[in-house]
Amino acid sequence: MMFDPQLRAKSAELQAAVRGLTDILLTHEAASGMRKRARKEADATKFCLAVEALACNLILLKATGSNAKLAVPRSHAVLWQGNPVLGQHFLSVIDLLSAVGLIAEGRRGYRISAKSKMPSLIEPQERLADHLPLSPPEWRAIGQIDDPVLVILKEGKDEDGNAAAIAYRKTAQSKKFENQVRSINRLLREADIEIAGQDDFGLSLGRDGQIIAPYRRSLRRIFNNGTWQHGGRLAGGFWMSMARTERQRIRINGQPVAEVDYGQLFPRLAYVRAGAPQPEGDLYNVFRNGTGRDGCKKLMNALLFSQGPLRNWPEDTHRHFPDGINLRTAIEMLAAKHAPIAHLFGKGLGFQLMRIESDMLIEVLTELSAAGVIALPLHDAVLVAKSDAGVAQETMRAVFRRWSRSPCAIVSVKFHT
């Protein structure tokens, strides 16, 4: 489980327990001589925040009922990024929790390269239950505050596939992005969103190592390749790391959800970029009988993202094509079917299309919010209460028409029941 520095004690009982735990750690620190000087007021506040965040993370870890451990940051590159929870005081709290036998420290992390790295791990010990509500874990006493960084600009990916965040000067544009995300987060924070069966089955971990819990609603917007013109997708919501089959457990206003999504959006936005009319029918149905559709979809998107000619099949693509079709033939068939946009293949257009996609989704969320509809974003789709599916579908069609000046919007609805 990845450490989340934005967790805080929500109930008065847990807040009191955290204060008691903080006192125990400070008493031990003073008695053992682990610290010689008193902390300044600002540093003392950060120390208390670190105790609170770690306590909340450990409670949630216990609530998974698994053997998972908590991955905590120790590198200076992570610790000194401006979050008040992280810093030398954070490392001090870990050392103190270990010294008094409330946690066990596992393997210390290391970083040789972006690919060769492992996080530092900790886990709660039985004695921690004397100080925090762990039997059973009171995970509903925990909340998440908004990430202080609502908009992130990342570099291009390095050779290991990682992209670091870039410090940027705030402008009218970046402030506009922040205000949009802040408004979305404000609405989601107050919304009635639950996960059915969670009290019975406990919490689970998502694909990103984060807890899947209904309080995780704080979103941020991420731009790519060092430019505001690339990317811009929203990230951070619990529903984003859930398996598709698990989303049927989400409830909005007590109702099962519907997934309303744009079909074939990237190629259709490429037609908009080319100034060409929108074609009718399924843009991925190159073989006209549905054969190889999934492969054509993957290949089409790879061609729109690639910078230069594709030399190899994109991962997990070739198997979707009929036997005997090589990469060159498949690309020629796609180019023939989509001649108006074939000149855009290999031009690295994908991240620009992603920026348009993300702007459209922000517009959809804003309009649904004005209509009183709670919507959870999913790149080119939204999850809404079943009764709001029609409103969401028409809103998404209207937004596509404004962006494309075409009525040919493919917006499907899938009900999760």
Pairing verdict, β 255-262 and 151-153: unpaired
**CA 285 from centroid of its chain's CA atoms:** 31
**Greater pLDDT, 406 or 32:** 32
Mean per-residue pLDDT for 289-295? 85
**Averaged pLDDT of the chain:** 90
Q: Are strands 381-385 and 375-377 parallel, antiparallel or unpaired?
A: antiparallel
Whether 112 has a pLDDT exceeding 50, the answer reads: no
Where residue 167 falls among pLDDT bands split at 50, 70, 90?
confident
Average pLDDT, stretch 104-108? 82
Residues 196 and 242: their CA atoms lie apart, in Å, by 13
**Whole-number pLDDT of residue 410:** 83
Q: Place 113 in a pLDDT band, splitting at 50, 70 and 90.
A: very low
State if pTM tops 0.75: yes
